[in-house]
Amino acid sequence: MIGRYTLPEMGEIWEENSKFRYWLEVELAVCRAMAESGLIPKKSLRNILKKANFDIKRINEIEAITNHDVIAFLSSVAEYVGPDSKYIHYGMTSSDMLDTALSLQMKKAAKIIDKKIAEALGKIKQLALKYKMTPIIGRTHGVIAEPTTLGLKFAVWFTELERGRERFKQAAEMAAVGAISGAVGNFANIDPKIEVKVCQILGLGVDKVSTQVIQRDRHAAYITSLALLASSMEKFATEIRNLQRTEIGELSEGFAEGQKGSSAMPHKRNPITAERLTGLARLLRGYSISAMENIPLWHERDIAHSSVERVIIPDSAIAVDYGLKIFNDILERLVVDEKRMLENIYRNGGIVFSQRVLLKLTEAIGNRDKAYNIVQRNAMKAYEGMKGFHELVKGDKEVAAYIEANEIDNCFDLEYYLKNVGKIFKRVFGK
């Protein structure tokens, strides 16, 4: 991932030096497990633990000759350890170390991501409770529909992000397994109890059965759950982008002092951060497809997945980590224009209250089609700007023949649309 979108804590997990540190951590865990089983002399283990190290420049030099990164790494480590290096990687295959180390990286990345999800959930909950009863127009097909509350919008975000968090937690747990099972996964050259001990040392689960590699459905679930998280954030960002439209103006990103919106138009205040979330989500969805295509490897393995994963796993974790960071920033600085919300509810003379008038008129007339035609006729006139909807309905003789003026006024009461909001919040937040 480019530096622009890489935050330090997450980026450190995937940098080259860290990668080799994780590789070494796995190799040393295997040595410890073997020493406990009497397969490596205790003295040799102490020497290995004391001296084991690597040199990235030297690894690159060796790889230029061997064209094999794991062999290059092990050769560099051997130069530090000396003769006892014969016990390192004993009975293992490259993927034992690579996949188990990757699991460690993914597990650590998941903890960082989960922390930021929790932060976002906390901020969304605060917004939901703050604006629990704040009226805003609901829209369907992009067109004004009926009043709802801003708090309910945030409650929807909260529950969706909760699901995304749980989905990712499950996928991360599924991916946090190790495999030390040998060349085709049948433990021909290494005892299964070594694998169990290694996973205990590393804090990983044990892959019940593997081939030469841990099966890639685990990794696909991890990446796909990140893509779903990004897609949810895009959904929230798209709502902000739409409500920031000049013609709507109900929500907007905070605009910092000294910030510029356009090189040409000084008046511009653009939702650039929300748009960035949209772009990142597009990237993640593409990565999820690549992750799923890594599942069908040939026989006990091929390495078609390897080149893909070098890009998509670090990039997915880094992109979601960054996306959550800027999403939290948006939530922190979100601008809410309650006055504009009310103005939009009552535009065209409160045309959004048409269903209330329809229900009242249907009850009085006893014929829904007739009532619908009367209400729609007045609504279309209001759209055309002849008069406001409220005024038109009150002035309609056909309506007046069935409904008293005060009953018509009651149809335009916002409180009607808020009466059950508290019950929904009790479901979501318990209060």
Q: Which of 284, 308, 342 is the last residue of a domain?
A: 342
| 325 and 353 co-located in one domain | no
Region 265-270: what's the mean pLDDT?
A: 72
- Specify if 399 maps to a domain: yes
Percent of the chain with pLDDT over 70: 97
- Specify if 178 maps to a domain: yes
Q: What is the pLDDT of residue 14?
A: 96
| 368 and 328 co-located in one domain | no
pLDDT for residue 262 is more than 80: no
- Specify if 186 maps to a domain: yes
Q: How confident is the model at residue 301 (pLDDT cuts 50, 70, 90)?
A: confident
Residue 200 CA to residue 203 CA, distance in Å, equals 5
DSSP 3-state of 350: coil
CB atoms within 10 A of CB 363: 13
- Specify if 143 maps to a domain: no
pTM score of the predicted model: 0.93
Chain Cα centroid distance, residue 249: 27
pLDDT for residue 325 is more than 80: yes
pLDDT for residue 260 is more than 90: no
Q: What is the pLDDT of residue 261?
A: 63
Q: What is the pLDDT of residue 264?
A: 66
Q: Looking at residue 418, which CATH number applies to its domain? A: 1.10.40.30
Residue 308 CA to residue 76 CA, distance in Å, equals 26
pLDDT for 19-43, tens place per residue? 999 999 999 999 999 999 999 999 9
| 278 and 372 co-located in one domain | no
Is 141 known to be catalytic? Answer: yes
Paired with 140 in beta bridges are: 143
Q: What is the pLDDT of residue 304?
A: 81
- Specify if 406 maps to a domain: yes
CB 133 within 8 A of CB 425: no
Q: Looking at residue 14, which CATH number applies to its domain? A: 1.20.200.10
DSSP 3-state of 406: helix
The residue from 141, 263, 299, 307 that is catalytic is 141
Q: How far is CA 339 from CA 292, 400, 418, in A?
A: 48, 32, 17
pLDDT for 336-391, tens place per residue? 999 999 999 999 999 999 999 999 999 999 999 999 999 999 999 998 987 999 99
Region 324-344: what's the mean pLDDT?
A: 96
DSSP 3-state of 138: strand
Is 262 known to be catalytic? Answer: yes
Average model confidence (pLDDT) across the chain: 93
Q: What is the pLDDT of residue 256?
A: 65
- Specify if 40 maps to a domain: yes
| 327 and 375 co-located in one domain | no
| 99 and 244 co-located in one domain | yes
| 283 and 305 co-located in one domain | yes
Q: How confident is the model at residue 333 (pLDDT cuts 50, 70, 90)?
A: very high
Alpha helices (H) in 244-303, listed in sequence order: 272-293
| 300 and 398 co-located in one domain | no
Q: What is the pLDDT of residue 181?
A: 93
Percent of the chain with pLDDT over 90: 85
| 103 and 179 co-located in one domain | yes
CB 113 within 8 A of CB 327: no
Q: Which of 298, 316, 342 is the last residue of a domain?
A: 342
Paired with 252 in beta bridges are: 335
| 337 and 354 co-located in one domain | no
| 239 and 363 co-located in one domain | no
The residue from 210, 262, 263, 307 that is catalytic is 262
| 302 and 391 co-located in one domain | no
DSSP calls for 150-210: HHHHHHHHHHHHHHHHHHHHHHHHHH-EE----TTSS-SSS-HHHHHHHHHHHT-EEPSS-
pLDDT for residue 255 is more than 70: no
Q: What is the pLDDT of residue 300?
A: 85
Top pLDDT among 216 and 265 is at 216
pLDDT for residue 105 is more than 80: yes
| 72 and 189 co-located in one domain | yes
- Structural domain harbouring 422: 346-429
pLDDT for residue 307 is more than 90: no
Domain count, the chain: 2
Q: Which of 314, 342, 370 is the last residue of a domain?
A: 342
The residues, any chain, with a CB within 8 Å of residue 25's CB and separated by 6 or more, are 101, 104, 202
pLDDT for residue 169 is more than 80: yes
Range of lowest pLDDT (180-184, 283-287, 298-302, 396-400): 298-302
Residue 245 CA to residue 240 CA, distance in Å, equals 9
- Specify if 256 maps to a domain: no
The residues, any chain, with a CB within 8 Å of residue 167's CB and separated by 6 or more, are 225, 228, 229
- Specify if 136 maps to a domain: no
CB 159 within 8 A of CB 188: no
pLDDT for residue 157 is more than 80: yes
